[in-house]
Chains A and B, each alone.
Chain A
Amino acid sequence: MLEKSLQLILPWGPVFFGALIVAPMLAAVLEASGIQQVAGMKPLVPAMALGAAWGALAKARGRWL
């Protein structure tokens, strides 16, 4: 049971990492650069979308860059 759950979740690690850890870092950089809004939204919202997408891409390609 535990093994099956891990096998299901672990491959999605880059997506979680992108959305939940990379995104706040990206948003903090934008805010520190004086960008308080992106397309009318707080930087964290588009950063989370970008982070999740980047993570999904990393998962598919096997590389972050």
Chain B
Amino acid sequence: MSLKAEREIAQQYIQGFPWFMVIWGIGGFLGWIALFPLVHYDVIPMWLAFILATANLCYCYLPAHEAQHGNIGRPGTRWRWLNELIGHTSVFPLLVPYRLHRAIHLKHHAHANDDAKDPDIYIRADTVWGAAFNAYLSKQPGHSGGMTDKVLEDSEQKEKLVLEALLATRLAWLAMFILAWSGFALELLFLWWLPYWVASIYTPVTLSWAPHHPQRETGRYRDTRAWKSPVGTILSAGMEYHVVHHLFPSIPLNRTPAAYRALKPLMQAEDMRLEGL
């Protein structure tokens, strides 16, 4: 398949402003914040808010992922500020520093499944439970998991990004501290801290492990797979079509299924890993 033919098809799904991801990013973040007063003033019960917060945090990485690739606004364009705003805010509940993570994530795209250069290689495991354990371990004291800055040795921005990341994560700690000591401790536990742990395991397992499993092959046409998820497209966060994202990161997540169907004949010709989808 020629890259030119791929691009001609992909271009149809890149055009236009990604409203869906923008509404998701802003709405998700504001909706999560709104849960705190809604529970505190007994407008909705804690159990319901816990479910909503957990679902919200499990999906909050995805708009930031679009921002990492500049899909909302490229540098120098009128919507760049919105791109960066969504990038910073939507992953704030996960304590992920946006700009450092973006630099690291782009290394994942450049070196997917490379033992030494792919920052996501830490999630490699034979089973989903093994991946879940690796995700859990990556959030423990002294572990960096997918946030390893070792892959940025060649970056002049590294020190600045690491310092900014420290500030961003401590800002989240400060927000937690204020909530904890101002009468919102229960809300902090059930709307942030517990959902954070669920999402911090769900997100890398679904977004990093599943579409690259078993993380052994490298190269544009072999490092990612399409697969039929047993839990469906929504519960697998659209990652069944992640293969499209690695070919063309500029295609927004909600357009990857249609792009997949259009690109499928070309993918089959390249013997890409299309596993039952």
Contact = CB atoms under 8 A, between A and B. Distances in A.
B221 interface: no
B185 A25 contact: yes
Contact of B166 (A6, A17, A21, A28): A6
Contacts of B142: 62
Nearest to B169: A13
Nearest to A14: B141
Nearest to A17: B173
B143 interface: yes
B24 interface: no
B193 to A, nearest CB: 7
A58 B140 contact: yes
A28 B141 contact: no
The bracket for how many chain A residues form the interface is 10 to 19
A52 interface: no
Contacts of A10: 166
Interface in B153-193: 166, 173, 176-177, 180-181, 185-186, 188-189, 193
B143 A28 contact: no
Contacts of A28: 185-186, 189
Given A6-B166, A17-B173, A32-B186, A25 B180 contact: yes
Contacts of B143: 62
A25 B188 contact: yes
Interface majority SS (helix, strand, loop, mixed), chain B: helix
Interface residues of B, number: 16
A38 B111 CA distance: 54
B140 A62 contact: yes
A21 B140 contact: no
Nearest to A58: B141
Given A58-B140, A59-B141, A62-B140, A21 B186 contact: no
Nearest to B180: A24
Contacts of A63: 137, 140-141
Contacts of A64: 140-141
A29 interface: yes
Interface string A5-41: 0100010011001001100110111001000000000
A25 to B, nearest CB: 4
Nearest to A25: B189
A59 B181 CA distance: 23
Given A10-B166, A14-B141, A28-B189, 13 more contacts: A6-B166, A13-B141, A21-B176, A24-B181, A25-B186, A25-B188, A25-B189, A29-B186, A58-B140, A62-B140, A63-B137, A63-B141, A64-B141
Interface of B: 137, 140-143, 166, 173, 176-177, 180-181, 185-186, 188-189, 193
Instruction: List the 8 closest A-B pairs by CB distance, nearest first.
Output: A28-B185, A24-B180, A25-B189, A24-B185, A28-B186, A62-B142, A63-B140, A14-B141
